[in-house]
Amino acid sequence: MKQIFLSAILILSALWGASAQPKVIAHRGYWRAEGAAQNSVASLRAAGELGCWGSEFDVWLTADDHLVLYHDDEFEGRRVEELSLAELQHHTLENGEPLPLLEDFLRVAQEYPELHLVFELKPHNNKTQERKAVQASVAMVEALGLADRTDYISFSKEACLGFIAAAPEAKVYYLNGELSASELQELGFAGADYNHFLYRFQPRLIKRLHALGLESNAWTVNKRGTMKWLAAHALDYLTTDYPEVAMTLYSE
């Protein structure tokens, strides 16, 4: 009887350990895969085929109201939000793909039903344009049937609050790092998506988030030692440029 009890404890411990590992999110897709590039359709496909929990990507609204994938604030010396789609479309990614339109990108995501989408809206200087971007993004995600597996993140608190209002069933996480766990809860966030250095500086932050029913994500985690530390502190999600490393580490 004692042996059976001990075996049950070991099995439960093993199951708990497996479930406690952070879910792995490919930062800007699995862009290090052969033939891929950051924020490319190929990187999205590679993340899905690798078996990542999620794939993160960056979105802007152009001056003529097209949603596109692009990371940097500027393109050829001008703010992305001030450019038309035509002015951006001659840009090609490092793998030769054209600059992706969000709609085309999301249609590819439909082919990978197990892959979650971590939708980062870049902070727009023009807040009217940013609010328009929030509404258009939510409408497109819902129209394509992806609402149940799309989370929203941003460094703009205003954009995040817009997502919370526009998509109340979605999970929204803040990136900037200055809000406490209780402030995040009061504002309606699902949790924090903070730089991994902040978690190391405040080692009890993850525990405080969990105590309030909130989740934790860390970016951008590329070192095995940090991956191990965050897992040991019960981080929920981990965003990395090396998803294959994190997934191998967490399966050991």
Task: Return the pLDDT at 10.
Answer: 39
Are 243 and 26 within 8 A, CB to CB?
yes
Task: Return the pLDDT at 41.
Answer: 98
Are 160 and 174 within 8 A, CB to CB?
yes
Spatial distance between the Cα atoms of 26 and 9, rounded to a whole number of angstroms? 34
Task: Return the pLDDT at 90.
Answer: 86
**Exposed / middle / buried, residue 196 (Cβ in 10 Å: 0-12, 13-18, 19+):** buried
pLDDT tens digit string along 19-70?
579 999 999 999 999 999 999 999 999 999 999 999 999 999 999 999 999 9
Show pLDDT as tens, one digit a residue, over the chain (252 residues).
444 433 443 343 343 344 579 999 999 999 999 999 999 999 999 999 999 999 999 999 999 999 999 999 999 899 999 999 999 988 999 999 999 999 999 999 999 999 999 999 999 999 999 999 999 999 999 999 999 999 999 999 999 999 999 999 999 999 999 999 999 999 999 999 999 999 999 999 999 999 999 999 999 999 999 999 999 999 999 999 999 999 999 998
Task: Return the pLDDT at 15.
Answer: 39
User: Which amino acid does the sequence have at 242?
Assistant: Y
Spatial distance between the Cα atoms of 242 and 32, rounded to a whole number of angstroms? 8
Residue-range domain boundaries for the chain: 24-251
Task: Return the pLDDT at 5.
Answer: 37
CATH of region 24-251, choose from 1.10.1040.10, 3.20.20.190, 3.40.50.800, 3.40.50.620 = 3.20.20.190
